[in-house]
Amino acid sequence: MTSAPPAAQIYSLSEFWLDAKKSKLHPAEAALLAAVARGEPCEIAATCPEEKQTENYVRAEFLAFLARGGSTEAPVTEKGICLSGAWIERADAPGDPDGLDMSGAQLRRNLVVCACNIPELVRLSGAHFSAVDFGSSKLGGLIADGLNAYNLVLDEGFEAAGPVTLDSATIGGSLRCTNGRFLGQPLALSCASASIGGNVLIASGFHAAGEVRIFRTTIGGEVNAAGAVISNEDLGLTLNRCKITGDVYLTKEFQCSGRVNLGGTSVGADLSFTGAKISGDVRLYRTRVGGTFFWCDVQEAEAKLNLTSATIETVNMDAQSWDQPSEILLEDFTYKAFTSLREGCEGAFWLTWLEKQPERYLSRDFRPQPYEQLAKVLQNMGHEDEARQVKIERRRRQARFNWQNPPAAASLFGRFLRYLGNVWEFLIGWLIDYGHTPGKAVLYLILIICVGAGVFQVAAYQGVMAPTSALIYSQAQGNGFIPKECTANWTKLAGACKTAVPAEYSEFSPLWYSMDVAIPLINLRQQEDWGPRVTHYDSGERHMLGWWVRLWEWIETLAGWLLSLLFVSAVGGIIRRE
């Protein structure tokens, strides 16, 4: 905001006399003049006046005269100016928007105007004071762009009907606005490109009817907005592109009906939203937090939480608070650890944690970085199982994304290879969780063997399983004759037919046969000696059950090779898990 030029300098006390004898001022002015000369406070009343009276009236021009150093007739001591309980207004043009104009004043002493009512605008642009204190005062507004002071106090009942701007101000100590009311709209408090050496206190009792904007400002202490209330539908608290050495507290039922924006701000210590109530978006885009980001016990946060490209040392959160925002943006959000994790933070909890992202980031515009970051942190903290589940979910969503968004292939063969690659991804995901759980391949193999054992047992009872070697006939024991009932159903080998075959011939076992079929590189001699007959022994016609058993045998063989290969590849690290 562009400030008005300084009012004309008044150098003589004589210009303020009210009578021809040059001996009379307003009572409050005379009291102030005497107090300033003695270096004492001037208390006109104990509280801020609600109306202008003869006893409490001080001309704005007179106060500005003293604030610029007075004169030899009206000296201002090293104690500066301390006035309370006065009504301050311009005499030549009451209600003038320029109001109390102390722009450019170089008093370099204290300016304390407490519990005073100044219905007009107060200007301190380019002024230099040791400290400025408007505590408990009511102002029409405050323009203090370029102000240089050690402390600026706007607290304990301070009220500004118009905007308060502190752009390019230099405050060596603290900016205190606790329990102050800033009613300017749409901008209630502005502090852009300023330097504050101490704390910014806009804590309990602070109320702003418009935006609180702190932009490109260096703050040497903390920002404490615990219990503050900011009522503005669009822009609420803007703490943007600032460098803050200490903590930022938006806690203890901090309430903001508009957006909270800390984009690009560097916080040297903790950033806390504990107990906050926020109706608008919370924007932490590219925010850097050197301590802990507290997102726990949040009372209300129904809009978006944007953590895109934020860099935070540690995160302290709970499930209820994380579930508050409508969606959470986590792309390129980096952090090192979680602190004070609650019970129940298992794999399902962390997958739900990630699913607060926008739906498009989980499907058609998939972003893998949040999954990779979370898995890395959980693994570093010793939560191996949870980290593995996050990695598996990341690969599943990546595979689904690759299937739905294939890159353009230059040739038909390239498209075919891409298709095979996608099928392979789904296959290893389904069977061994992309190499993270190779034991699943063993379990599937055992299941197939058991199913196969049942199939071959039924086939044997139906006379489908038969010897494969001709030697069983040529070397038959006894008279070389094998009973007809044995050839019709070789499962009888375990009984009456057992003596009709060579002693060294393997006895059929459904379980061992299924293992021989499914497990490569082993030979239990079951497949070598036995197999399903595909024709009837007597008529030579096709044996349909035998054909189905043979088909199952082929399927079981292929499945056994595949599962064995996947198990060995996963254990040996051939399949890339990441």
Q: Residue 58: what pLDDT?
A: 96
Q: Residue 259: what pLDDT?
A: 96
CA dihedral (454, 458, 459, 461) in degrees, to 10, reads 140
3-state helix, strand, coil in the chain (%, to 5): 30, 25, 45
Name the more confident of 467 and 163. Answer: 163
User: Across residues 368-384, what is the average pLDDT?
Assistant: 93
186: preceding bond cis by omega (within 30 degrees): yes
Q: Residue 3: what pLDDT?
A: 44
Q: Residue 415: what pLDDT?
A: 74
What is the pLDDT confidence band of residue 465, given thresholds at 50, 70 and 90?
A: confident
Q: Residue 463: what pLDDT?
A: 81
Average pLDDT, the chain: 88
Q: Which residues of 242-274 are buried (b: 16+ CB within 10 A; e: fewer)?
A: bbbbbbbbbbbebbbebbbbbbbbbbbbbbbbb
- The angle formed by the CA atoms of residues 10, 13 and 19, to the nearest 5 degrees, is 120
Distance CA 522, CA 530 (A): 16
Q: Residue 1: what pLDDT?
A: 42
Distance CA 241, CA 264 (A): 4
Distance CA 525, CA 512 (A): 9
Q: Residues 513-533: pLDDT tens digits?
A: 999 999 988 888 888 888 888
Helix (H/G/I), strand (E/B), else coil: 267: strand
Q: Residue 525: what pLDDT?
A: 84
Q: Residue 526: what pLDDT?
A: 86
Q: Residue 6: what pLDDT?
A: 46
Distance CA 257, CA 267 (A): 23
CA proximity to 454, closest of 394, 416, 401, 511: 511
CA proximity to 315, closest of 332, 298, 331, 296: 296
**Are 533 and 543 within 8 A, CB to CB?**
yes
For the cut 90, the answer to whether the pLDDT of residue 332 exceeds it is yes
What is the pLDDT confidence band of residue 124, given thresholds at 50, 70 and 90?
A: very high
Distance CA 426, CA 403 (A): 10
What is the pLDDT confidence band of residue 469, given thresholds at 50, 70 and 90?
A: confident
Q: Residues 259-291: pLDDT tens digits?
A: 999 999 999 999 999 999 999 999 999 999 999
Residue 147, sorted as left (phi over 0), alpha (psi -120 to 50) or beta, turns out to be beta
What is the pLDDT confidence band of residue 535, given thresholds at 50, 70 and 90?
A: confident
- Tokens matching residue 177: 């606005």
Q: Which amino acid is at 276?
A: A
User: Across residues 430-437, what is the average pLDDT?
Assistant: 80
For the cut 70, the answer to whether the pLDDT of residue 482 exceeds it is no
Q: Residues 206-226: pLDDT tens digits?
A: 999 999 999 999 999 999 999
Q: Residue 565: what pLDDT?
A: 85
Q: Residue 405: what pLDDT?
A: 78
Q: Which helix (H) or strand (E) holds 471?
A: helix 471-474
Label residue 541 exposed, middle or buried (CB < 10 Å: 0-12, 13-18, 19+). Answer: exposed
Distance CA 24, CA 18 (A): 5
Q: Residue 4: what pLDDT?
A: 43
Q: Residues 76-98: pLDDT tens digits?
A: 999 999 999 999 998 876 656 67
Regarding beta strands 87-89 and 57-59, do their DSSP bridges make them parallel or antiparallel, or are they unpaired? parallel
For the cut 50, the answer to whether the pLDDT of residue 64 exceeds it is yes
- Of all residues in the chain, the percent with pLDDT exceeding 90 is 62
Q: Residue 5: what pLDDT?
A: 42
Q: Within 10 A of 176 (CB to CB), how many other CB atoms are there?
A: 24
Q: Residues 173-200: pLDDT tens digits?
A: 999 999 999 999 999 999 999 999 999 9
What is the pLDDT confidence band of residue 506, given thresholds at 50, 70 and 90?
A: confident
**Are 96 and 117 within 8 A, CB to CB?**
no
Name the more confident of 559 and 538. Answer: 559
User: Across residues 456-483, what is the average pLDDT?
Assistant: 71
Domains in the chain: boundaries: 440-564
For the entire predicted model, the pTM comes to 0.82
The 3-class SS string of 136-149 reads CCEEEEEECCCCEE
